[in-house]
Chains A and B, each alone.
Chain A
Amino acid sequence: MSEPVKVAVWDVPIRLFHWLLVGLIGFSFYAVKSGHVVWHIYSGLAILSLLIFRLLWGLVGSSTARFATFVAGPERVLGYLRDKSSWAAAGHSPLGALSVLALLGALLVQVGLGLFAVDEDGLNEGPLAHFISVDKADLMRGIHGAWFFVVAALIVLHVGAIVYYRLFQKQKLTKAMITGRKALEPGVAPMRPGKWWVAVICLIAGIAVTRWIIAGVPPFGG
């Protein structure tokens, strides 16, 4: 068996996205628990911009960022579960892909609920809350709070899987998400990078869509 070689697996946009998301989720939690609802809303809107960026980068970004590359059907997931050596590529494993989709989906739901929620005192609300009745916006806050447990459970699973891979598979996944490089078997194709200016366009699009939502989705609303 030949020595593994370190190759590029995550590009800069993916790594920035990942760690900014970690920071903003932590900050959102802190802000709402300490009564800073305005900070919480801004943080949530920043997360929305990042999520839109990630969805676009998943279509036109680097090879390991693309959904078409890493999203695996049940057959490949089961195959990977039976025999981990059946899969060798740069990027998300077939099982990891499920985790990524679940996390992105759960966060989109969470942000979406927040857009329609009003705080309990009626002092601050998501930019789309005035489209629905006061009682429904209250309900949205309740679901937004409850849905956090889904997000938290997925984060625990995500971190738990990283610990498992570190202890039992001798894989340093966190380091790879920091440096962008990971030791892979020789012959495995490394990440094909995307174009930096495409990443910038994706980010601008994410921010633009968020700004449009903040403005109350004109011309459909006020």
Chain B
Amino acid sequence: MRKTIVAAAAVIALVACSKQNQTRVSAPAPASATVSGAKAKSVMHERSDGMKKVGKAMKILGAQIKSGAPDMTAVKAAAAAMDGLARKSSAWFPAGTGPDAGKTRAKAEIWLKPQDFAAKVKGFQTAAANFNAAAQTGNAATATASLGELGKSCKACHDNYRSDEHR
């Protein structure tokens, strides 16, 4: 009797393990395989620089759009830059580039909730592409109407996955 129970438990354990392995294999890795060492550092630098460029583009867009009479040449350039950066952003968060790897404001939660995080990145990319399309029409009203969604996509991710600004 006892042997049967042990055997059953072992079988259950094996099945559970294999299931876990299966999900691990089938779940899409957020960007790429785990990185470390110099590669991790270079990704983190690229991410930090990239995010600063995203911020700068957003500030230019905010200043232009909220001025009431935007310089559409500046808006188009910033919108195109934003779209390009957004496309790259999905490669900025490979496993191994979290707080354990060095100074970063990327929270460990990113790699604990990979699906939600990937959805947030996708949301950013969609919003940036939509805004760029709106901006390239050259119509200030169209661009203005589309900027809000882009801002929301920044905030949606930053609220949960970025730690406070270090001074």
Contact = CB atoms under 8 A, between A and B. Distances in A.
Nearest to B63: A130
Contacts of B59: 118, 122, 125, 134, 137-138
Interface string B138-167: 000000000000010011001100001101
A138 B165 CA distance: 13
A120 B165 contact: yes
Contacts of A35: 155, 158-159
Contact of B158 (A121, A134, A142, A145): A121
A75 B82 CA distance: 61
B55 A120 contact: yes
Given A134-B56, A222-B68, A123 B62 contact: yes
Contacts of A121: 55, 58, 151, 154-155, 158
B25 interface: no
| Highest count of chain B CB atoms <10 Å: which of A129, A134, A137, A138 | A134
Question: In terms of DSSP, what is the predominant structure of the interface of chain B?
Answer: helix
Nearest to B56: A134
B112 interface: no
B6 interface: no
A121 B155 CA distance: 8
A153 interface: no
B92 to A, nearest CB: 16
Interface of A: 33, 35, 118, 120-123, 125, 129-130, 134, 137-138, 142, 145-146, 222
Interface of B: 55-63, 66-69, 151, 154-155, 158-159, 164-165, 167
